[in-house]
Amino acid sequence: MKRALAAAALLAGCTSTAVVRDASGDIDLAFCAFDANPGGQWGSFFARKMRELPPPSFESVRGIASLNEAEGCDLAAEIRSSGATILSPTSATVYSAASRKKLFSVSATGRGQPGKLGRSILREFQRDGEPYRLALAERAARGNAYAPARPGAPNARRSDVDSPGYRAPQRPNDFAVVIGIDGYKDLPRAEFAERDAEAAASHFAALGVPKRHIVSLYGENATRTGLTKYLEEWLPRNAKPESTVYFFFSGHGAPDPKTGAAYLVPWDGDASFLKSTAYPLDKLYSELGKLPAKRVVVALDACFSGAGGRSVLAKGARPLVTKVRLASRPLKNLTMLTASAGDEITTTLDAQGHGVFTYYLLKGLQGAAADASGTITATGLYEYLRPKVQEEARLQNREQTPSLFYITDPVLR
């Protein structure tokens, strides 16, 4: 059943403990990389190169600032570059993120050093050697809970939606862009947003998107420039008439108090200068709607009321109910799943380490939203998650009502 366009325009957002290999051969461990020099970029660079390696790989890979930021990681690799003239990482020391115990070191010389380092690390976990057994034992010892990454940091929990638990045949023409921003450059944190995005990327891979076709931008890599180049250049260059394209965003949204326009706020966004530092929501819909793709599925775990949660507002401005400007023409290929009305505040599910909307979105894709034949449609997913999100929000003394918009109800799984 189709939802009214107006309802969809008010947006929101406002497992086993054993280490296993899934059906694709991937290793069910969360791998993080950081630069040995504080403030350096080799961690993010190396994580990106790791994600570009052919499978098998780790279930999730991301860059972090330091070992003290390894919340939600099973493994943390310290990346070094020897010599000021070396323009590529040359060695890696891999630690258990929970105990900070050193597992092993690897190095590489010659051309293709990041790939060589990455393959050396993966080989250590593709056999039942000591690093593999230690990772297994430490995850089992701490149960489902991740250890705090730093003094005073809250426990993030390993959720039952982090690993999809299903695997569809690969769809070589599908693509995904996934954005998650916890810590902003100059704005409050959006708790669990990067974990939301990492889990979403894992589910898109399970739905058949080749890992090389998934662009994941986390934290400081999720700049306005990054959003622009992948939305306006990379996707149009790669999407095909038979493609399904997924776009997922978890982080802050913001309203323009004067116009009511809504914006996605990148890592370097400024709520007082949205036009020049953030990405307009109506432009997002317009760009995705122009893609030559069979369907585009959008999920936004961000709110735009300015009243709190995953929403920010310029200093001195008052919260408002944002009326989002959609693209001027019908977007026949676009399906939007969002999580709350424009005057609502988004909620998180601390026990799972995810936003409430993201958690039930992914839980539905795992199979909870399937009909009697095992099919999951956008409508079926929405009808599953909407009451779940509402119930959890009310337990936290809030209101949060997801929305769905589509013209043709797509089969998601």
Using CA atoms, how far apart are residues 286 and 40, in angstroms rounded to an integer? 36
Please give the tally of structural domains in the chain: 2
Q: Of all helices (H) and strands (E), which one includes residue 386?
A: helix 378-395
Domain that holds residue 324: 5-14+159-405
More reliable by pLDDT, 30 or 167: 167
CATH of the domain at 296: 3.40.50.1460
Among the three residues 141, 172, 197, which one is the final residue of a domain in this structure? Answer: 141
38-47, 59-68, 85-94, 220-229 — which is least confidently predicted?
85-94
Residues 8, 79 contacting (CB under 8 angstroms): no
Strand-pairing partners, residue 216, are: 178
57 within domain boundaries? yes
| DSSP-based three-state secondary structure for 217 | strand
The pLDDT of 151-174, averaged and rounded, is: 73
Shared domain for 111 and 237, answered yes or no, is no
Shared domain for 188 and 335, answered yes or no, is yes
Shared domain for 9 and 130, answered yes or no, is no
Residue 327 has pLDDT above 70, yes or no: no
89 within domain boundaries? yes
Q: Over 170-200, what HEC string results?
A: CCCCCEEEEEECCCCCCCCCCCCHHHHHHHH
Q: Could you tell me what percent of the chain has a pLDDT over 70? A: 76
CATH of the domain at 102: 3.40.50
193-197, 255-259, 273-277, 373-377 — which is least confidently predicted?
255-259
148 within domain boundaries? no
Q: Of all helices (H) and strands (E), which one includes residue 338?
A: strand 334-338
Shared domain for 277 and 242, answered yes or no, is yes
277 within domain boundaries? yes
pTM: predicted TM-score of the whole model, two decimal places: 0.64
Residues 182, 252 contacting (CB under 8 angstroms): no
Residues 251, 265 contacting (CB under 8 angstroms): yes
Q: What is the pLDDT of residues 280-314, one digit of tens each?
A: 888 898 899 899 999 999 999 887 654 444 444 44
Among the three residues 95, 111, 141, which one is the final residue of a domain in this structure? Answer: 141
Count Cβ neighbours within 10 Å for each residue of 302-320 and write b for 16 or more, e otherwise.
Answer: bbbbbbbbbbbbbeeeeeb
Shared domain for 99 and 57, answered yes or no, is yes
Shared domain for 228 and 293, answered yes or no, is yes
Shared domain for 390 and 302, answered yes or no, is yes
More reliable by pLDDT, 130 or 238: 238
pLDDT at 39: 73
413 within domain boundaries? no
Residues in the chain: 413
pLDDT at 339: 64
Q: Of all helices (H) and strands (E), which one includes residue 385?
A: helix 378-395
Q: What is the pLDDT of residues 305-326, one digit of tens each?
A: 544 444 444 443 333 344 444 3
**Mean confidence (pLDDT) of the chain:** 76
Confidence grade of residue 154 (pLDDT, cut at 50, 70, 90): very low
Among the three residues 112, 141, 170, which one is the final residue of a domain in this structure? Answer: 141
Shared domain for 226 and 311, answered yes or no, is yes
Confidence grade of residue 140 (pLDDT, cut at 50, 70, 90): low
More reliable by pLDDT, 146 or 202: 202
Q: What is the pLDDT of residues 220-231, one digit of tens each?
A: 888 888 889 999
More reliable by pLDDT, 293 or 399: 293
127 within domain boundaries? yes
307 within domain boundaries? yes
410 within domain boundaries? no
Shared domain for 132 and 38, answered yes or no, is yes
Residue 156 has pLDDT above 70, yes or no: no
Shared domain for 202 and 289, answered yes or no, is yes
More reliable by pLDDT, 248 or 338: 248
Q: What is the pLDDT of residues 93-123, one digit of tens each?
A: 998 887 888 888 888 876 667 788 888 888 8
Using CA atoms, how far apart are residues 399 and 286, in angstroms rounded to an integer? 29
The closest of 80, 73, 117, 119 to 96, measured between CA atoms, is 73
Highest mean pLDDT among 171-175, 197-201, 323-327: 171-175
State the DSSP code for 220: G
The pLDDT of 260-276, averaged and rounded, is: 83
Residue entry with tokens 């662009």:
215
Shared domain for 315 and 195, answered yes or no, is yes
Shared domain for 276 and 371, answered yes or no, is yes
